[in-house]
Structure 1
Amino acid sequence: MVKSYLRYEEAAAFGLVVSPGANVEYDSSGKLLLAGALEQLAVWNVKQGRSVHNLSIPAPATGTRALVTSVQRMPTSTSLVAVGYGDGTVRIWDIIKGACETTLVGHKGATTALRYNKLGSLLASGSKDTDIIVWDVVGEAGLFSLRGHRDQVTDVVFLTKGKRLVSCSKDTFVRVWDLDTQSCIQTVVGHRGEIWSLDVNNSDTYLVTGSADPELHVYAISEDENVASDTSKEEVENGVTTKSKWEVLKNIGNIKRGDNGRVATVRFDASGTLFGSQVAGKTLEIYSVSDELEASKKMKRRRKRKREKATKASEKNGLMEEKGQDEMATEKDEIIASDVFHLLQTVRMKHKILSFCFSPVQAKKGAVGSIAIALHNNLLEVYELQEQTASRLHAVDLPGHRSDVRVARLNQDSTLLMTTSHNAVKIWNPQTTACLHTVETGYGLSGVFAPGNHVIVGTKAGTLEIVDIDAAERSKVVEAHLGAVWSISPFTDGLGFVSGSADHDVKFWEYEFVQATKQLSIRNTRTLRMAEDVLAVCVSANAKYLAVSLLDSTIKIFFVDSLKFFLSLYGHKLPALGMDISSDGALLVTGSADKNIKIWGMDFGDCHKSLFAHADSVMAVQFVPNTHYVFSVGKDRGVKYWDADTFELLLTLEGHHAEVWCLAVSSLGDFVITGSHDRSIRRWDRTSEPFFLEEEREKRLETMFDAGLDDGGRRPEDIPEEGAAGVAGRKTQDTISAVDSIIEALEMAESEIERLALHKNEKKSDSKAGQFKPNVLLLGMAPHAFVLRAVSSVRPSDLEQALLMLPFMDALKLMGYLKDWISEGTQVELVCRVAVLLSQIHHQQLASTGVARPTLTSLHPVLKEGVQLLKDTIGYNMAAMGHLQRLLTARADMPFKDAANKVMEIRNKLAKRTGHLPAPGAKKRKKQAEKAEAKT
């Protein structure tokens, strides 16, 4: 009989506030902060410091979920947010519902930039694959991709003047794109280093770029909306070559920065009066932005000072230089960057800044603005900006550690979880993932729960720190070792524990309560001196054996009662960093820095099996209680589940994005906790779903096969021409499945039509022929309706790629159904889009194929009539909505509006309860009242 196992799946990921790689963004109300937390979009209530939502995509069958790389809220919506991911996808989330509304697939590399236009109808995304894709948010499809950059696109922004888009890249170029012609109309050069960010003010007057240069570049945006599409031509005046007068961006000067580090982010606030420049370090510079009137005054004062200075210099020399006088006369009255931007203050943080954003809400009286800052130490802070200072208002710091999670331990009944980092111990509820207590301690490398709701923490400094959970404080610090305490193993009777340290000592400790203070204390009872550093210790469940892992790659086993030597285990090429003894005391499992785990017999010390477990060092191993199943974690980010009896790999649990340091298995084996260098803590729950080893092996092989489908790389032949436009989208497994479903539906529909025609012929020849039996696979639909169902089930963003892979003959069959679909009047937009796409894709074949002409000829008037009918319906509805809006506006100005509404509400309630109809003449009086309202 084939043995089955129960599957473990990721149930929760917690301990993260914000992660590197993604920006932080306010929602439209200014009350919520949106931040990327690895693969999740974390929505934080700033004032309360609590999580509102943790939005993440479903876990794939294999592999980790993609990281959140960029966040951008929709300007015209209170709940919709666009999120870019490391796999190149863009998802639009509703943060109120907590649901994903749209998935847009197009990039082959990570999405690094997102920006909406002011209406929220278009979304531009830039990627590591050097492409920019413009998406139709309403139609949920890509319009086109803009290709021309030769390195990662770092930022994009829409210009409302003339329907243009500006992008910057690591290739040191800023490009201006015309969205109507889908071409690059200007390339701005002059940056000496990589450009990382750009932004425009709210009036689209100035554009600022931030790069690795020691200054910020400022450009004035042309107000001419009819810029010629060919701006590459140069004008020659008096033998001197000058730039074209139709340039969109004109450099008006630079702003010298105070910090010489590269600029990571530049942003204007919503009002356009503040500008922030964040360096890839600990500095954030805030500038005040002058309006046009104030900038003009500064420009005039600057010119006046310049004239006075020139006059004084000339008088000092005793003569007026004609050359300088001519220059002053010919100089134009133009505003430069220093007239507009003035350094207000410099905000310096204690830790590295990841990103920042301005609050969209108007600042309080006495303040100039408010900013949210995401820090590298897993922290979100909100500051109020005054003229010269910045004061911290709120901080989101409780839900996570400031550094990587080094220790994870569960108490005896698995109701509490302890984790440690470089400066604190946190106590969690592993089921609700709520952080219960945070206590400052030393650098915790090991730990264990102690009686009386206490925790013992072994630190890097060699101390054992006792933490009182109820009081949430560190009650005592014991100078236990001279080196780092790498491992602590408790006795199952709860009376003490064993500690192993880098000072070569293994010490036995007992718990004791001090009557005077009523506090828990510990007492050293025995010490076992070793020849090398002790990296791990483990006591068997029956307290008979003590296993000690040493720096010389050996494992030594002693009797606990007498401390006599029992066995020495050799085999690892590098030291064992973690080990555990099974509940029955029969097996010992060790995980080593040589990437292997070994299973040993405790009776004779023989090695049952050596398994190549991880692609990097194995950091921890632990048995599931009362079984021979083993969990192991390593620096390769993986969590693996093994059967120590059959030596088989059962499952590979992928979810962490950095080295996994620690592991804790619950007392019943129903869940597992892991902690990682990515600062996340994950809970893996055992489900009721069984699985078999053969199925898992087949899945792994299929995954390896599918991995070659689209590796996201750029081949030489894929490199586009400079400034070219292409198709928005890429081939994925979903598009291939969509093509297969459309072809299958076409074949079934064609077969059904043939059967129906054959039945009609039989009916004509034989009147006694039976009733036609339709194919049950068509789900009771007509053939053309079944094909429409297959086409409409394709995701809008995948439709173009799916039709590109559709063979010509199948495309011709599909076009034959368009007339039936449009005549029914349903999904007119989808039908028109399919018709346009197929005509564009197969234009040459359709023009040269005589059979296709009748189909195309019949489609033209039908499509035009269907679109016109849809436009009329939309126009009628818009007119009706406008009429309703005018009525509501008039009613809002009506005197005693509140009282009238209250009377109507009471009247409606009474009518519902009694069941009486309105009195005779009520409709007439209502119409008269509406006419009176309209007049007023």
Structure 2
Amino acid sequence: MVKAYLRYEPALSFGVVASPDSNVVYDPSGRLLLAAALDRFAAWDLKRGLPSLSFATSSPSPSLAVSCIATFSSSAAAVSSSSIASGHADGSIRLWDAETGSCEATLHGHRSAASALRFSSSGAVLASGSKDCDIILWDVVAQAGLFRLRGHRDQVTELVFLDSGKKLVSCSKDKFIRVWDLDTQHCLQIVGGHHSEIWSMDVDPSEKFLVSGSADPELRVFTVRKSTEEGEDWNKWDVLKLFGEIPRQSKERVSTVRFNKNGNLVACQVAGKTADIYRVLDETEAVRKAKRRMHRKKEKVLAKATSAEGNGTVIDPLSAQDLQKPTPVVTDVFKLLQVLRASKKICSIAFSPNNPPKGCLATLSLSLNNNMLETYSVDSENVSKMYSIEMHGHHSDIRSLALNSDDNLLMSTSHNAVKIWNPSSGDCLRTIDSGYGLCSTFVPGNRYALVGTKSGTLEIIDINSGSSIEVIEAHAGSIRSIVLIPDENGTVSARGFVTGSADHDVKFWEYQLVQKSETDSKQLSVTNVRTLKMNDDVLAVIISPTGKHIAVALLDCTVKVFFIDSLKFFLSLYGHKLPVLCMDISSDGSLIVTGSADKNLKIWGMDFGDCHKSIFAHTDSVMDVKFVYKTHYMFSVGKDRMVKYWDADKFELLLTLEGHHAEVWCLAISSRGDFVVTGSHDRSVRRWDRTEEQFFIEEEVEKRLEETFEADLDNDMEHRYGHKDDAPEEGSVGVTGRKTKETVSSADAIMDALDTAEEEVKRLDQHKEEQRNGKGAKFQPNILMQGHSPSDYVLSVVSNVRPNDLEQALLSLPFSDALKLMSYLKEWSLVPLKVELVCRVCLVLLQTHHNQLTTTPSARSMLTELKDILYRRVKNCKDAIGFNLAAMDHIKELLSMRSDAPFRDARAKLMEIRQEQSKRSDKSDGIEKRKRKKQKTSGQS
């Protein structure tokens, strides 16, 4: 009988606030900060310091790591709900709904990681750049690609739209800036001048200046030519002209350049801990500064002329025209305002689009490489920190994990802190300062915890108060293992624990309750009762569940097993070629598994120390291994980023769980085996839950073979079509999509639908012929067509293809099937809602098979009919859209007039009341004047 197993699937990921390889941006509302966290990203409420919304893909994978984020925000109503876009490491682009956090569409076009994203001013077009050197323009509303721009010779690093989305500026690591005309789809201008890779650029909101940064010691500033601007200084096709260079404070390369919403500030972040903030002066201030500069220059010239009179030399003074109308230079416009210095290396910056607090010029948010987000307020005097988000993750990699006996608390350690988590929700409950924790465990009772550090100290932590109550100098070297001593029944008791260290000692400890003073309550302490001396560094220690044996892994690649009561030698397990880094004993005490730096797992019998099996488990060092309680199933993790599930009886690999983006250091399994928690160098903690879905080993083996075959096929296609030697022509334009599994399956579905429809048409013709011959048999339609006619059935299949995959699916069709598909276009064009789809299909097929169609006699009449029909149908659709737009504008005017009518009436009434009050006041003033006049005349008399 074939044995079935229960599947483990990814359930939760937490511990990452901001990935160092992505940027941070504000959401369309400007209230929340979007920060990537490996394969997902979250919207953070900076004031509360909590995530408000999470944007996650359906299946976590290192290939889906978020590489860049872009948002679209406008005071006008957005053209689409997809106002957030994210680029990923596999080259895909995802469009997200900003309100619900759901993925609206996935766009495939790039062959490598997306490196730049930018929405146009209308929000209807999205531009994406990638490491494959290509730029793709996407239609956000139709969720399909428009065209591909080729010309850069290296990674595209930044994109900027100009002239209301009619032009696009791109910079690359090939040291050039290119200006593209999106109407004609060609390169207008190539701007050089940088001596190293260009990493970032940005344009101010008024599109007057464009600033670019590289590893050069200065920023380059360009003036942007308006579409209506003409002048003798400009060449005919030029859009950018060098205005000047700004010297930078730092010697490190520029990482990000950003203007604020008003355009009066520009921030230049370098690949270090600083960000230079420049003030952009308006024209009046720039001219005033230029006048002062010319005045100082004049004074210097006059001083030189005075001193030169005695020598008989003549120096030309400045002309009066230069002093009256000085021309501002770049240093007159851009003035260094502040230098922001962060505590750690800055990864990305973003200005808040909302109005800053009173007295501030702007609000600037940073992501740091130690998993933190910080927000600063910028004013003319200084830069001050406003908010900081750091509690939700470790600042470095996670080195150990431990679950308490109830599985409701999870403890993780890193280089300077211990964190207590809720493993069900991923919330951080406590953060406790500590040393570099390499191992940890909960004390029975779950009130205290023990942490072994790299410096050799043993820290006792009070879970309730979240504080370290005692630090004991336990070892002279780093403590690698802490293991609780179980009782004879296999349950963890209060007998004590064992520590193993690099100082060659294995120490046995007992718990004590100590009262330091009469007023203090009793607290936990420990005392050393026994010490087992070894001949080499101790790398791992494990105790059998019955408490009978203790196994010690040494640096000499062996594992020594001793009797725990007498400490007498029992077994020696040898066979690994490199040191054993981890091991575990099954709950029945019959098997011991060891994981080594030689990438192998070895399963041994505890009776005689015989090696049952040696398995090549990981492609790098095995870092941790654990048995599931009361089973012979086990989990292993390694530096190859994989989590693997094994059957130790059959020596078979059951599952491979992918999700971590860096080396996996540790794992912890719940007491019931219903979930597994893993910690990684990428600072994330991932929980994998056991489901009720069953699987079989044979099916998983076949699935892994298919994945390997498909990966090799993708690599072969990448080598053929993405090799740098096959560089594209200068400024060429290509198709947007790329061949994927989805496009291949879509093409197969269209071909199957065409064959099915052709067979159905033949059956219908045969049935009509039989009816004419007097055979009135009832026609039985094909059940696969679900009651549709052949034409409607093919139309439904083509309509179900995703818009972004349609072009590549049609390109995969052979000419015979393309000809069949074109025969249906005339009938489909009569459906009003399918005119756009028919035009797209017709355009792609004509461009692909133009030569064959023009030489095929049967296709000429079909093309002639389609020409007249499609022109007429498209004109009708344009007229209908224009009529609807005009009607909507008229309705909008009517609604605005109705909404404004009560206010107009109220304003008119208010004006009447004010006029009446002024008349009354004038009348009363006249009466008062007459009274005072009478009193004055009577007094005089």
What TM-score results when the alignment is normalised by the length of structure 1?
A: 0.91
Q: Distance in 2 between matches of 1:834 and 1:464?
A: 70
Residue 301 of structure 1 corresponds to 292
1:380 aligns with one of 368, 373, 379: 373
Residue 652 of structure 1 corresponds to 656
- Letter of the 1:494 partner, please give it: S
- Letter of the 1:859 partner, please give it: L
Q: Which deviations, in whole Å up to 9, do the C-alpha atoms of 1:545-583 show, x marking residues without a partner? A: 101111111111111111111111111111111110100
Residue 907 of structure 1 corresponds to none
Q: Distance in 2 between matches of 1:887 and 1:490?
A: 78
Q: How does 1:248-397 map to 2 (within 5 A)?
A: 248-318=239-309, 321=314, 334-397=327-390
Q: Distance in 2 between matches of 1:526 and 1:370?
A: 59
Q: Judge conservation of contact 1:891–1:897 (CA < 8 Å) in 2.
A: no
- Pair 1:760-2:751 in alignment: no
Q: Distance in 1 between matches of 2:898 and 2:188?
A: 50
1:874 aligns with one of 881, 886, 892: 881
- Letter of the 1:803 partner, please give it: L
SS of residue matched to 1:814: helix
Q: Judge conservation of contact 2:68–2:114 (CA < 8 Å) in 1.
A: yes
Q: Judge conservation of contact 1:485–1:499 (CA < 8 Å) in 2.
A: yes
Residue 517 of structure 1 corresponds to 521
Structure 1 residue 303: Cα displacement: 3.2
- Letter of the 1:738 partner, please give it: S
Structure 1 residue 412: Cα displacement: 1.2
Structure 1 residue 410: Cα displacement: 0.7
Residue 18 of structure 1 corresponds to 18
- Pair 1:595-2:594 in alignment: no
SS of residue matched to 2:748: helix
1:571 aligns with one of 565, 572, 575: 575
Q: Distance in 2 between matches of 1:716 and 1:359?
A: 39
Structure 1 residue 75: Cα displacement: 2.6
1:844 aligns with one of 837, 851, 858: 851
Q: Judge conservation of contact 2:403–2:668 (CA < 8 Å) in 1.
A: yes
Distance 1:719 1:480, change over 3 A: same
- Pair 1:463-2:457 in alignment: yes
Residue 493 of structure 2 corresponds to 494
- Pair 1:454-2:448 in alignment: yes
- Letter of the 2:786 partner, please give it: L
Q: Judge conservation of contact 1:162–1:226 (CA < 8 Å) in 2.
A: no
Residue 189 of structure 2 corresponds to 186
Q: Which deviations, in whole Å up to 9, do the C-alpha atoms of 1:470-492 show, x marking residues without a partner? A: 11111111121111111111123
In terms of mean alpha carbon deviation, does 258-267 or 90-99 score higher?
90-99
- Pair 1:747-2:751 in alignment: no
Distance 1:135 1:332, change over 3 A: farther
Residue 732 of structure 1 corresponds to 740
- Pair 1:584-2:577 in alignment: no
- Pair 1:132-2:132 in alignment: no
- Pair 1:473-2:467 in alignment: yes
Q: Judge conservation of contact 1:218–1:253 (CA < 8 Å) in 2.
A: yes
1:825 aligns with one of 795, 811, 832: 832
Q: Distance in 1 between matches of 2:550 and 2:695?
A: 36
Q: Distance in 2 between matches of 1:186 and 1:305?
A: 38
- Letter of the 1:350 partner, please give it: S
Residue 406 of structure 1 corresponds to 399
Structure 1 residue 308: Cα displacement: 3.7
Q: Which deviations, in whole Å up to 9, do the C-alpha atoms of 1:722-767 show, x marking residues without a partner? A: 222211121111111111111111111111111111111111221x
Q: Judge conservation of contact 2:63–2:88 (CA < 8 Å) in 1.
A: no
Residue 67 of structure 1 corresponds to 65
- Letter of the 2:475 partner, please give it: H
Residue 920 of structure 1 corresponds to none
Q: Distance in 2 between matches of 1:738 and 1:332?
A: 67
Q: Distance in 2 between matches of 1:314 and 1:742?
A: 86
- Pair 1:562-2:566 in alignment: yes
- Letter of the 2:69 partner, please give it: V
Distance 1:222 1:335, change over 3 A: farther
Q: Distance in 1 between matches of 2:165 and 2:94?
A: 28
Residue 637 of structure 2 corresponds to 633
Over aligned residues, Cα RMSD in angstroms? 2.2
SS of residue matched to 1:311: helix
SS of residue matched to 2:713: coil
Structure 1 residue 511: Cα displacement: 1.9
Q: Distance in 1 between matches of 2:541 and 2:59?
A: 36
Residue 210 of structure 2 corresponds to 207
Residue 924 of structure 2 corresponds to none
Q: Distance in 2 between matches of 1:844 and 1:624?
A: 65
In terms of mean alpha carbon deviation, does 784-793 or 488-497 score higher?
488-497
Structure 1 residue 698: Cα displacement: 0.9
Q: Judge conservation of contact 1:227–1:248 (CA < 8 Å) in 2.
A: no
Q: Judge conservation of contact 2:28–2:83 (CA < 8 Å) in 1.
A: no
- Pair 1:721-2:729 in alignment: yes
* Structure 2 residues without counterparts, runs of 5 or longer: 487-491, 907-941
Q: Judge conservation of contact 2:82–2:95 (CA < 8 Å) in 1.
A: no
Structure 1 residue 29: Cα displacement: 2.4
Q: Judge conservation of contact 2:122–2:165 (CA < 8 Å) in 1.
A: no
Distance 1:257 1:320, change over 3 A: same
Q: Judge conservation of contact 1:16–1:399 (CA < 8 Å) in 2.
A: yes
Q: How does 1:96-111 map to 2 (within 5 A)?
A: 96-111=99-114
Q: Judge conservation of contact 1:252–1:335 (CA < 8 Å) in 2.
A: no
Q: Distance in 2 between matches of 1:59 and 1:227?
A: 53
Q: Distance in 2 between matches of 1:604 and 1:815?
A: 75
Residue 608 of structure 2 corresponds to 604
SS of residue matched to 1:891: helix
Q: Which deviations, in whole Å up to 9, do the C-alpha atoms of 1:850-909 show, x marking residues without a partner? A: 11112112112222232223223322322232222222212222337999xxxxxxxxxx
Q: Which deviations, in whole Å up to 9, do the C-alpha atoms of 1:417-448 show, x marking residues without a partner? A: 11001111111111111111111111100010
Distance 1:878 1:320, change over 3 A: farther
Distance 1:162 1:136, change over 3 A: closer
Q: Distance in 2 between matches of 1:613 and 1:692?
A: 19
Distance 1:327 1:112, change over 3 A: farther
- Letter of the 2:477 partner, please give it: G
- Pair 1:699-2:703 in alignment: yes
Distance 1:856 1:324, change over 3 A: farther
Q: Judge conservation of contact 2:121–2:164 (CA < 8 Å) in 1.
A: no
Structure 1 residue 708: Cα displacement: 2.8
In terms of mean alpha carbon deviation, does 339-348 or 448-457 score higher?
448-457
* Structure 1 residues without counterparts, runs of 5 or longer: 229-234, 236-241, 900-936
Q: Judge conservation of contact 2:188–2:237 (CA < 8 Å) in 1.
A: no
Q: Judge conservation of contact 1:53–1:95 (CA < 8 Å) in 2.
A: no
Q: How does 1:162-201 map to 2 (within 5 A)?
A: 163-201=166-204
Q: Distance in 2 between matches of 1:831 and 1:311?
A: 77
Q: Judge conservation of contact 1:639–1:652 (CA < 8 Å) in 2.
A: yes
Residue 620 of structure 2 corresponds to 616
Q: How does 1:799-838 map to 2 (within 5 A)?
A: 799-838=806-845
2:801 aligns with one of 784, 794, 802: 794
SS of residue matched to 2:348: strand
In terms of mean alpha carbon deviation, does 815-824 or 342-351 score higher?
815-824
Q: Which deviations, in whole Å up to 9, do the C-alpha atoms of 1:482-507 show, x marking residues without a partner? A: 11111111123331211111111111
Q: Distance in 1 between matches of 2:321 and 2:606?
A: 94
- Letter of the 1:80 partner, please give it: S
Q: Distance in 2 between matches of 1:428 and 1:785?
A: 56
Q: How does 1:763-778 map to 2 (within 5 A)?
A: 763-766=771-774, 768-778=775-785
Q: Distance in 2 between matches of 1:532 and 1:563?
A: 17
SS of residue matched to 1:456: strand
Q: Distance in 1 between matches of 2:323 and 2:184?
A: 38
1:92 aligns with one of 90, 95, 103: 95
In terms of mean alpha carbon deviation, does 829-838 or 349-358 score higher?
829-838
Q: Distance in 2 between matches of 1:879 and 1:439?
A: 64
